[in-house]
């Protein structure tokens, strides 16, 4: 006889299967549980489901709703998988501001800002596209117009927008309009998204200063746009550098080597420009 608790579990499984945010692999596992072709008891099915989901769960790499369901059926400590999303929607205090930068994969754009004094939060997300609440898979498909970016909430009494701009320029190849480093395509373009006229003026000045510095042989192609809407990314993308340390270090090392080569090219270009 099915209990009320059993009914709730089945309803959660049905909802996750219908949820457009559920990944195809997750949906397939849930459908297999629902279909129960071998006629196992619910407890047996849930044990199987736990074992299927666990490898990604321990790495916090399940989609948010599936992660919440996994935690509920395992009895593990509940974690707020929407903390970044809730922070995004909180109203800012008078001394707080937001900067939004796109510079390739957002996994590598968080740590350089996150550890600075005056940084309240750094949220990975999507900006500049045509649909509401885009998923990672939709953005990755390169058909929505969204660009991976980070929203930096900062205390303007401790750090300025100009300082954040300076850090941003040091993290990217401003001559590459087709992506950044190993990340190619429209969703990885370098863009400064501004939230007001003051930021627009400062961003334009920083770009002009970069052009006038003649550090690069190729044109500076970083776009400056008004931000229309920033959508926080799924939980498994947030604070990637903390959750997936080894993988992040490998990606960071690759970007660091590329930037080192870029700095060498800049130095050589500057030397020969002066000689001319």
For residues 239 and 79, what is the distance between their CA atoms, to the nearest angstrom?
Answer: 14
Per-residue DSSP letters for 96-120?
A: EEEEEEE-S-GGGSSHHHHTSTTEE
pTM of the predicted protein model: 0.68
Q: Would you call 108 a catalytic residue per the annotation?
A: no
- Check residue 256 and give its pLDDT: 82
- Asked if 98 and 142 count as a contact pair (C-beta separation under 8 A), the reply is no
- The closest alpha carbon to 193, from 232, 156, 163, 165, belongs to 165
Calculate the alpha carbon distances from 54 to 20, 130, 249 in Å. 21, 35, 24
Calculate the alpha carbon distances from 167 to 33, 94, 256 in Å. 48, 24, 14
Point out the catalytic residue in the list 49, 66, 105, 152. 105
CA atoms within 13 Å, Cβ hemisphere of 129? 29
- Check residue 270 and give its pLDDT: 52
- For 203, other C-beta atoms within 10 Å of its C-beta total 22
SS3 string of 202-267?
HHHHHHHHHHHCCCCCCCCCCEEEECCCEEECCHHHCCHHHHCHHHHHHHHHHHHHHHHHHHHHHH
- For 207, other C-beta atoms within 10 Å of its C-beta total 19
Sign of CA dihedral 119, 125, 129, 134: negative
Taking only the tens of pLDDT, the chain with its 276 residues reads 456 677 788 888 998 999 887 888 899 999 988 887 566 787 888 888 898 888 887 766 777 778 878 888 887 765 444 577 778 888 899 999 999 999 999 998 999 999 899 999 999 999 998 889 898 888 988 889 999 999 999 999 999 999 999 999 999 999 988 888 778 889 999 999 999 999 999 999 999 999 998 888 889 999 999 998 999 998 778 888 887 777 788 888 878 887 877 766 655 555 445 445
The H or E element spanning position 198 is: helix 197-212
- Check residue 84 and give its pLDDT: 79
CA end-to-end span of the chain, whole Å? Answer: 87
For residues 182 and 25, what is the distance between their CA atoms, to the nearest angstrom?
Answer: 26
For residues 241 and 252, what is the distance between their CA atoms, to the nearest angstrom?
Answer: 9
């Amino acid at each position: 006889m099915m209990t009320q608790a059993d009914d709730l579990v089945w309803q959660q499984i049905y909802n996750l299967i219908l949820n457009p945010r559920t990944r195809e692999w997750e949906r397939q596992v849930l459908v297999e549980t629902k279909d129960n072709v071998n006629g196992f008891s619910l407890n047996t099915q849930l044990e199987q489901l736990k074992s299927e989901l666990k490898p990604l769960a321990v790495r916090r790499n399940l989609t948010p709703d599936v992660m919440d369901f996994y935690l509920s059926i395992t009895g593990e400590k509940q974690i707020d998988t929407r903390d970044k999303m809730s922070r995004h929607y909180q109203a800012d205090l008078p001394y707080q501001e937001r900067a939004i930068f796109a510079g390739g994969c957002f996994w590598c754009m968080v740590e350089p800002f996150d550890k600075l004094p005056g940084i309240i939060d750094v949220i990975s997300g999507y900006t500049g596209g045509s649909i509401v609440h885009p998923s990672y898979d939709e953005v990755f498909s390169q058909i929505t117009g969204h660009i991976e970016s980070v929203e930096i909430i900062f205390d303007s009494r401790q750090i300025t927008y100009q300082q954040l701009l300076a850090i941003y320029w040091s993290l990217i190849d401003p001559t590459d309009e087709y992506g950044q480093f190993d990340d190619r395509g429209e969703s990885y373009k370098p863009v400064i998204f501004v939230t007001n006229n003051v930021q627009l003026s400062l961003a334009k000045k920083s770009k002009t200063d970069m052009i006038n510095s003649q550090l690069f042989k190729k044109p500076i192609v970083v776009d400056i746009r008004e931000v229309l809407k920033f959508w926080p990314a799924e939980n498994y993308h947030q604070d990637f550098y903390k959750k997936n340390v080894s993988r992040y270090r490998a990606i960071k090392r690759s970007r660091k080597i590329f930037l080192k080569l870029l700095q060498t090219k800049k130095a050589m270009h500057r030397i020969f420009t002066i000689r001319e």
